[in-house]
Structure 1
Amino acid sequence: MARALSRPHRDDLRIAVGGLLGGMVLWALGIHPRVVADPLVLWHPAWAPLLPLVVTAACEPLRRSTPRVGLFIGTLALTLDTVTQGNVVTVILYTDLVYAAVLYGSLASARRICWITCMLTVLGGVVPAALLRDAHALLIGVGIGILSFAPAATGWVVRNHRDAAEAARLRAEQTALLAEMDRTQAVTAERARMARELHDMVANHLSAIAIHSTAALSLDDPQTSRDALAVIRENSVEGLAEMRRLIGILRDSSGDVEPAVTPTLDGVATLVKGARANGLDVRLADGHSRVPAPVELAAYRIVQESLTNALKHAAEGPVEVALRQDDGTLRVRVTNAYRAGDGSRAPGSGSGLTGMRERAALLGGRFEAGPRGQLWEVRADLPLTEGETP
């Protein structure tokens, strides 16, 4: 690819100065590839070889910025050099210009130069041999090949290796970037999953503790206070056990990122029993059969969070929990009495609905929650296909 540089590269300047000085030393010593008596030497002044030498050396600073211009001027200088006694350094500098034009020029230009030099090499050997009927004339083509095609081919090989190395570097950078993105996404997903687990495991127990402690403090009835303290103790013990289990998951380095005993829909009856102990009038309609484990866990957590919300926000009245399976979908419905404007009986983070919605979305399902007349309804439709574990 062409490189537009504001000023010549230092190495190119060194090549130009070094070549010019070397060529002048050879000229001063009288070392030339041709003698004055040679019929090809049409320009005889002693200083004549210096002119193409200076022009070719002046083209070297252009070898990276404008390589085609440098090669064109260098070709004219080499042509002029052939009608003088010549200078070996001029030829060497010209081969470098051919090499640089292929290496630093555009891809189309590099291909064109390689093709032209190859054709000149073939024609330079075949045509003179055919005209002169002398096999020794093939050496002309060899000379042209060494002068033009060999540096062009070398530049093409180096260019391919350079481009391959650059492509490999870009692939490595892209791979590293994708790996970092995957790692970040994995960490974010794991944090969200653990936040849902922590909320669902503990929020129910803490809400019950808050509500019953309020009742124990507000009612001057020893029996009521005793019952409330019993519920508080039960929920405290269960909540502590859940916390210990979650901490064990976080500290476990074996790769097991799920609880030792994953909740299933068989445990919904236990959830209902606990909700009744906390004062809710819960009714369960269970019409499901065996479902995949990810769906079981999501449905269990949605029911658990819905009962927790009902404990904190529901108006007086029954709470209906329904599990129904049809058309390859597990349908979860939880309804409770609702009155607009009723305040919460326990503090909350407000993240429960978000967690339920995320669990349904991870399985490709649908989730809705909101008032329907005098009821608050939670609806979740979970496909019975294997999906990502919430």
Structure 2
Amino acid sequence: MTARPLAALGRPHPHDVLLAGGGLATGVLLWALGLQGGPPLIGLPASSTLLALAVMAAAELLRRTAPMTALALAVPALALDFCTGTLVATVLMFTDVVYAAVLYGPPGAVRRIPLCSEVLTVLATVATAAVWHVPQVVLVGIGIALLTVAPAGTGLVIRNHRDAAQSARLRAEQTALLAEMDRTQAVAGERARMARELHDLVANHLSAIAIHATAAQTIDDPAATRAALGVIRENSVQGLAEMRRLIGLLRDAQATGDEPAATPTLDGLEALVEQARTNGAASGLAFVLDDARRTAGPGSSGGPDGGRPPAPVELAAYRIVQESLTNALKHAAPGEVRVRIAHDPAGTLSVAVRSPYADGPGPRAPGSGAGLVGMRERIALLGGEFDAGPTDGSDGTVWLVRAALPAAGEEGRR
């Protein structure tokens, strides 16, 4: 056992000061009244009892701040006390020092001190029995055990309970921290999902409104202006309906009594492309839907086994086509915009949108750049592949958006 350097000792705990002061005062009182265990041995003066008492009181001051130093002082003080008559106050303070050494000492003390106490008790009892062959030797062993084993065992039990409680608190704090992290991630994920939905729902209609409003301002033709205003009104009404649907999804359907509208599916692609044709006619854009699923045979509107792909996959494919058409309205050069959707034999739903690449001064309507980010996020969440950018084709440079989504249902993956 190594004691802490005296220079490194901290201020004694107030409770330890009370214990040390009370023990010292009690011992002095007992000594003054002559209430000692017996006369001094080996010729030591009677005042040596007070020295042992003072050293033991000093050990009590260090029981919490330097428990091993306190134990190192208490052992010789107890030996001196036994040789000078024995004061009960000194003995009681020793038991408290042993208890504190186990409770507040380093981890090694938890193992060594109880073991040393048991070995000391056995050796002292055997040595006493070898010298005095009397039945009272058993009482000597019990007394030594009360001074060493009992306080060490008590300190061990309390320390184990304290460590267990601390571990439980740490686990509770870790659980709360993990729960907070999960909640934060869930909130961030929900915010990102809402941002993608809001962008995909509104951007298409607002882009068409901006393009036709610009045309109505620049073209001095009453008929063209009326047509542009008609498209603006149609997109405004549809955009408002989409916003109401989104609000319905965000609100509690049971509390309001309203059921949110159905999630868009691939069956609505024809209407989506038809709307793009109307919005892009003034910009010289022609939109074509090539749905290769319809040529795969009867009942092939969904996955390769004849069933529909999972709902998240359908929604992601629909939103990718919707955002790609919106980008084409804003950025594409006059020409044909082709949308192709097909199922691969491996059970992958592939989406490709090809539009004429325009290297012009700017888009027809302003954009935030969040569309491509949202499409990448959607595909990444479903474990698919996504690619978008200019590429060289037979008819010149085109802007190509490609996505591959795992469309096989649970039965198809088994």
TM-score, normalized by length of structure 2? 0.86
Question: What's 1:281 paired with?
Answer: 286
Distance (Å, rounded) in 1 between the aligned partners of 2:116 and 2:99? 13
In the alignment, does 2:12 pair up with 1:17?
A: no
1:378 aligns to what SS in structure 2? strand
Report the Cα distance in structure 2 between the residues aligned to 1:126 and 1:184, rounded to whole angstroms. Answer: 66
Q: How does 1:3-82 map to 2 (within 5 A)?
A: 6-34=10-38, 36=39, 41-43=41-43, 45-82=45-82
**Aligned partner letter, 1:262:** T
CA gap 1:253/1:26 in 2 versus in 1, 3 angstroms: farther
User: Does the aligned pair in 2 maintain the 1:102–1:113 contact within 8 Å?
Assistant: yes
Is the 8 Å Cα contact of residues 44 and 84 (structure 2) preserved in structure 1?
A: yes
Does residue 329 in structure 1 map to residue 348 in structure 2? yes
Q: For 2:365, which of 346, 351, 354 is the aligned residue? A: 346
Aligned residues: 381
- Inter-CA distance 362–67: structure 2 relative to 1 (3 Å threshold): same
How far apart are 1:226 and its partner, in Å? 2.0
In 2, the alpha carbon distance for the partners of 1:60 and 1:384 equals 75
- 1:265 and 2:283 matched: no
Q: Deviations over 1:242-290 (max 9, x none)?
A: 111112222327599x953111111111111111111241111223422
2:404 matched to 1:381? yes
Aligned counterparts, 1:1-390, within 5 A: 6-34=10-38, 36=39, 41-43=41-43, 45-126=45-126, 128-129=128-129, 132-252=132-252, 260-278=261-279, 279=281, 280-288=285-293, 289=302, 290-326=308-344, 327-373=346-392, 374-384=397-407
Structure 1 SS opposite 2:335: coil
Q: Tell me the secondary structure at the aligned position of residue 371 of structure 1.
A: strand
In structure 2, the CA distance between the partners of 1:166 and 1:200, relative to structure 1 (3 Å rule), is same
CA distances 1:49-104 after superposition (whole Å, capped 9, x unpaired): 11110111111222123222211221111111111111000001101110111111
Contact 2:331 2:358 in 1 (8 A): no
CA distance in 1, matches of 2:310, 2:107: 57
How far apart, in 1, do the equivalents of 2:131 and 2:269 lie?
A: 101
Contact map agreement 2:63 2:100 (CA 8 A) in 1: yes
Supply the distance in 2 between the matched residues of 1:5 and 1:244 (Cα, whole angstroms).
71
Asked if structure 1 preserves the Cα contact closer than 8 Å seen for 2:253 and 2:260, the reply is no
Partners of 1:51 and 1:309 in 2: CA distance: 94
Instruction: Please state how far the C-alpha of 1:5 moved relative to its aligned partner.
Output: 5.4
SS at match of 2:148: helix
Deviation at 1:119, TM superposition (A): 2.1
Residue identity in the other structure for 2:342:
R
User: Residues 134 and 287 from structure 1, CA distance in 2 versus in 1: closer, same or farther, beyond 3 angstroms?
Assistant: farther
How high is the sequence identity, in percent, across the aligned residues? 61
1:123·1:141 contact (CA, 8 Å) conserved in 2? no
- Residue identity matched to 2:172: A
What is the distance in 1 between the residues matched to 2:267 and 2:389? Answer: 27
Inter-partner Cα distance in structure 1 for 2:83 and 2:158? 33
Distance 1:43 1:95 in 2: 27
Given residue 378 of structure 1, which amino acid in structure 2 is its aligned partner? V
Amino acid at match of 2:148: S
**TM-score, L = length of structure 1:** 0.92
Bigger mean CA deviation after superposition, 58-67 or 184-193: 58-67
Deviations, residues 309-342 of structure 1 (Å, cap 9, x unaligned): 0011100110111112222321111010012234
| Superposition deviation, residue 127 in structure 1 | 5.2
Q: 2:183 corresponds to which letter in structure 1? A: R
CA contact (8 A) 1:314 1:338 kept: yes
How much has 1:206 moved relative to structure 2? 0.9
More deviation, 302-311/212-221: 212-221
Looking at structure 2, the residues matched to 322 and 316 of structure 1 have their Cα atoms a distance apart, in angstroms, of 19
Shift of 1:44: 5.2
The Cα RMSD (Å) is: 2.3
* Deviation, structure 1 residue 153: 0.5
Q: 1:254 to 1:56 in 2, by over 3 A?
A: farther
